[in-house]
Structure 1
Amino acid sequence: MSERILNKRNYIIGHVVFWIISASFFCIIFYFNSKSFNTSLVAKAIITNIGFAASVYINLYVLIPRFLKKKSYIFYFFWLIVTLSASSLLVQLIIVYPLRNVLHVSEEFASFNTNTHSAFFFVTLIYVGIFSFFKMVKDWIAMQDLNFKLAKIEKQKLEAELTTLKGQLNPHFLFNSLNNIYSLALVKSDKVPELILKLSDLMRHIIYESREDFISLQKEIEFVDNFIALQKIRVSDQTSIIYEKIGDVPSARIAPLLFEPFIDNAFKHGIPGDIDKDYIRISFDFQQDSSVVFHIENNYSEVEKWNTKHSGIGLQNVKQRLSLLYKKDEFKLDIKREYPVFGVKLHLKLK
């Protein structure tokens, strides 16, 4: 038996039990009023509760969906009063005439006077209020459960997308780094062991430390420090590398590997070799409002061709990850390319 059918069955059983208890309760009330127990007393209790139930279910399945949920409050309360009044009148007609004639009870017992009518109206209103309250609570819980499931699905989708993006980034980074070390190994440079150690630290950061959506900003800055130190090996002394950090690194969290693609592109495309004064300028400005401004700028030659097929992957990944992990008002990314300068400025709210 499916969970849905089981829940529906339990729902029906619960309501039936409730109305049996309610009818029994009114039997007791009528007994104390009449000082005798007979068939007509039970019939009156049952018919009274049928009137209650009619108003309750008309409200639950007609008035609330059609008017209240659509915020047509005036129509809702109008038809609610009409329903309660009609239910009261119908019960009165059933009790006063058929019950008196068929069961041969006294007119006094079967009577449904103004006081009784008012009492029935307000008791019905109480029943309607109770059932409406529990329905709203049930609907609220169902909505919260639905929102939780949707949020879980969205998170799983987000994690899958981020995993894909990181998977695209890691081979790209590793390929470039190994190329640098391989070039030095060809000339038997003494720096190769140091670079391999740095690369090991960098890969540890990518493979293990960057698994989380957000990591320590301090660790990410250390990663950038090592990455820049590794990249410096490939450039000539004629290239000016300016790297500065303004302010103290705050105890905050940040999405990992946001800066690497920008820095990698700067070193890859910003060192043309045919410009007398080529440069790369990198800066972090840690501000008092728990934000950081990352700025990187490099010049490039007129003949430099932008390889969008490969170098563009990293930049596009960063844009996607920013959109997935941060709200629109939590970051601002500006990318400008005006010959001979290419620049990126990222203003990011820290977690």
Structure 2
Amino acid sequence: MKKLVRHGVFWCLYILFTVGIYYVQEPNLGLHITYELASLPAKFLMVYATLYFILPQFVLKKKYGLAFLQFAILLIVGIFFLRLLVWVTVYPIYFPDLDTKLIPSNPTKLISPLLDLIIVSSMAVVIKLLRDREKQQLDHLNRSKSNIQNELQLLKSQLHPHFLFNILNGLYAQILENPEKASHMVVQLSDLLRFILYEAKESLVDVEEDLECLGNYIALEQMRYGNKLDLSYTVLGITVHKKIPPLLLLPFVENSFKHGISKDYEKCWIRCKIEFFEDILMLDLENSKPSFFEESQTENGIGLKNVKQRLDHVFPRRYDLTINDMEDRFLINLKIPIVKK
């Protein structure tokens, strides 16, 4: 239905355009309207044969020689078809005393219908090509958006088992050593799972919910390490009515535990500060690193790599991430925009 409406609008605008041009040259409105209406079947033949036969079968397949030949044949047929329609309608009404022939002896009289058919078919082809290009660009954008969404879901699905695996290892150790502490860890873990299974599927979540998930993770790790860990976790600024993508901060904090203090058999420390400004979130994260620690590509895991990919997708060129791997410590500074609700 929409396609019929678009075609109807095109032909109405075309008739108004041509009638207006001819009226300026010869102020006889009835003559020009009758001519355009009478010639419509020939123009329909020319336009739709070009759009739906010559264009897809020859031009788009780069068969330009055959396309030119087909268009020339169609043009010859269209010229004489148009002249026939005008000869049996316009001339009897407006020029009854004029002695005319269907095939004129003067070939120059064929120039006007020739130009009419070339102009209307060219206009239609240009509009169709522009519309098809716009549709292709829109389809490309939709496919790109779908691919990005699928990739983000894949990154999240890789990320979740990554840190859950570490937590389950710690929980197993606590069950053997301290069952009471292990029961409290189960509660914390259940909150983590609830957030991952239900909340983290959204593209944006409330800052407070994401911070609660992060706090549960930190609490689980702190119980696992006990007095061995000197932890400072600070949240500054207003967190209400703000949203961020879920689980963006967690991989950085997890990295501090997994690749820093987990390999240190002595006293270790983590300093984590999250600060909220008007439209920016800033994460300053620093952890100790044992001097003997050597991290391989495999040990580096997928956490930081995936979160960088997510940042590129969600905040292209709108975030700032600095990572400093020093001899005795590891520092991360992150700035991301905040979505206000």
* Band of TM-score, shorter chain: 0.5 to 0.7
Structure having greater relative contact order (Cα 8 Å, sep ≥ 6)? 2
Alignment gaps of 5+ in structure 1? 1-9, 34-41, 67-86, 96-104
Pick closer, same or farther for the CA change 1:250–1:143 going to 2, 3 Å.
farther
| 8 Å CA contact 2:322, 2:333 repeated in 1 | yes
Q: Provide closer, same or farther for how the CA distance between residues 300 and 128 of structure 1 changes in structure 2, counting only shifts above 3 A.
A: same
Q: Which residue is equivalent to 1:254?
A: 244
Seen in structure 2, the aligned counterparts of structure 1 residues 124 and 268 have a Cα distance that, compared at 3 Å, is: same
Match of 1:350 in 2: 338
Find the counterpart in structure 1 of residue 256 from structure 2: 266
Match for 1:296: what amino acid?
L
2:119 to 115, 121, 128: 128
- Which stretch shows the higher mean deviation, 171-180 or 154-163? 154-163
Q: Confirm whether residue 180 of structure 1 aligns to residue 180 of structure 2.
A: no
Structure-1 residue corresponding to 2:323:
335
CA distance in 1, matches of 2:184, 2:296: 30
Distance 2:139 2:169 in 1: 45
Per the alignment, in what secondary structure is the counterpart of residue 301 of structure 2?
helix
- The percent of aligned pairs where both chains have the same amino acid is 27
What is the Cα deviation at residue 328 of structure 1? 2.7
Matched, 1:221 2:200: no
Distance 1:135 1:52, change over 3 A: closer
2:198 is aligned to: 208
Q: Which residue is 1:316 aligned to?
A: 305
Distance 1:52 1:262, change over 3 A: closer
Give the aligned residue type for 1:281. R
Asked if 2 retains the 8 angstrom alpha-carbon contact of 1:55 and 1:124, the reply is no
263, 280, 285: which is aligned to 1:291? 280
Question: Aligned runs of 1:20-169 on 2, under 5 Å?
Answer: 109=100, 120=112, 124=116, 128=119, 134-169=124-159
Contact 1:270 1:280 in 2 (8 A): no
Q: TM-score, normalised by structure 1?
A: 0.63
CA distance in 2, matches of 1:315, 1:234: 22
Cα offsets for 1:98-149 (capped at 9, x unmatched): xxxxxxx987657x9xxx98x959x949x936x6555554444433432332
**One-letter amino acid matched to 1:336:** N
8 A Cα contact 1:270 1:279, kept in partner? no
Q: Which residue of 2 aligns with 1:84?
A: none
Work out the CA distance in 2 between the residues paired with 1:267 and 1:51: 75
Q: CA deviation at 1:342?
A: 0.5
Deviations 1:225-271 (A, max 9, x none): 11111111122425321111110114232221112221112112332
Using the TM superposition, give the Cα deviation of residue 292 of structure 1 relative to its aligned residue in structure 2, in angstroms: 0.5
CA distance in 1, matches of 2:253, 2:41: 76
Question: How far apart are the structure 1 equivalents of 2:132 and 2:269?
Answer: 59
Change (3 A) 1:151 1:51: closer
